[in-house]
Amino acid sequence: MNQKTVAKPVSIEGVGLHSGEKVRLTIKPAPENEGINFIRVDVNPSLKIPARIDHVLNYQRAPRRTAIARDGVEVHTIEHLMSAFYGLGIDNAYVELDGMEVPGLDGSTYPFVELIQSAGIEEQSAKKQEFAVRDPVYVDSGSGITIVALPYNGLKVSYTLSYPDTYLGTQYMSLEITPETFVEQVALGRTFCLEREAEELRKIGLGKGADYSNTLVICETGVKENTLRFEDEFVRHKILDLLGDLSLLGCGLKAHIVAIKSGHYVNIQLVEKLYRQKERAEQAALRAISEFDPRGQDVLEVTDIMKILPHRYPFLLVDRIIYMEEGKKAIGVKSVTMNEYFFVGHFPGRPVMPGVLIIEAMAQVGGVLMLSDPKHKGKIAYFMGINNVKFRKPVLPGDVLEIETEVLRVRSRTGQLQGIARVEDKVVAEAELMFAIVD
């Protein structure tokens, strides 16, 4: 899917749930790959704060809400608006605020959903960035509070809420998250608190803007001075909060999230772990970064190769793919010149192309072969191992290195290739390369 932003600026005013201060909020379109950014326009100069996990304010300084900060400037209670962006699939937007807290409105995310829908949603050219969980990620905060992210082809949330010996009791909901299910099943869930908690929250300076119109107050017999929208509205709001926190990963997420009694503090711990896993994957992988389809083309020039592989000078070691048989074989060429960066320090008196770079060039041709398959678009090819490496002859400036990779075997998630490098039809190196293909 492509990235999305709002079609035009839209504004809304309200009172912060915790600060009690009136604030005006304006959502504006943002360019591709910009992400969601909050802009405090009441400070001089105005300051942009990315809504990402690396800018989240310590929970001890912002309990019972999610807040972000940069250079000492803060924005609090962003989770309901972020949930609306995430649920509707908005990737890029600027959020201007003339105060430090997002307005609470009716305590749900639905007013923000209506605001975004009134602006219109505009599709952009760039592809949506997504991260697929490969290995389970788990947080246990004690007292039965746990959350885990499991591999899943989509986004699913299963949440268990448990307030024993209260009107809330135990509620459970499991839901596949799409824009439609989000609007219909999640967005209307309102924030809540127990009546016995309310006075304590006010004593520590929280809930100054909360009242019966924007917060469900739970007493021993039910909801005070309000009516539930759903019998299980409380667990729906917990899912709403969780989605807002997950959005701080900064991209779409493919996972099954199983949560038991989790709140912002534990949610953020999970996102931190997911972020580290995402960073490791990006640092270690070859990714198909575009929808470029090489089928039917006799030759792939270097600009085409860069649409498949993320490599750039000086790490792109393939000038051209001169033959491609889908799922079977690829042949690439590398013209070796005296201007190559590696000759500066590698035998400069008698320049020889390092053998490890010949293998790297071989791996890049193999990567093009593996990732050019349409069913592998957007997936990751991990270079897992090398066997039976042999170097036959040196490669010198002026040589044209021809690299052939051929599939030996491919399973659903792994592939093994035979690579042979030649100069003037003479073998200079050969190796078996192993890749793992993952989402």
Cβ contact 47:40 at 8 Å: yes
Active site residue 80: no
Give the span between the Cα atoms of 89 and 130, in whole angstroms.
12
Q: Compute how many other C-beta atoms are within 10 angstroms of the C-beta atom of residue 71.
A: 8
Question: Residue 86 is encoded by which pair of tokens?
Answer: 């995430």
Active-site annotation holder among 18, 76, 80, 264: 264
Give the span between the Cα atoms of 188 and 105, in whole angstroms.
12
Give the span between the Cα atoms of 182 and 395, in whole angstroms.
59
Closest CA to 421 of 315, 352, 308, 333: 333
Please tell me whether the peptide bond between 45 and the residue prior to it is cis, using omega within 30 degrees of 0.
yes
CA separation (Å) from 426 to 228, 324, 399?
78, 21, 11
Cβ contact 133:277 at 8 Å: yes
Active-site annotation holder among 55, 311, 346, 376: 346
* Strand spans (E) along 309-399: 320-325, 329-335, 380-391
Give the span between the Cα atoms of 179 and 142, in whole angstroms.
33
Give the span between the Cα atoms of 183 and 275, in whole angstroms.
27
Give the end-to-end CA distance of the chain in Å, rounded to a whole number.
15
CA separation (Å) from 201 to 204, 208, 218, 298, 387?
5, 9, 14, 69, 63
Rg (the chain; Cα; Å) = 27
Strand-pairing partners, residue 401, are 334
Closest CA to 372 of 300, 280, 268, 283: 300
Give the span between the Cα atoms of 94 and 77, in whole angstroms.
16
Active site residues: 264, 346
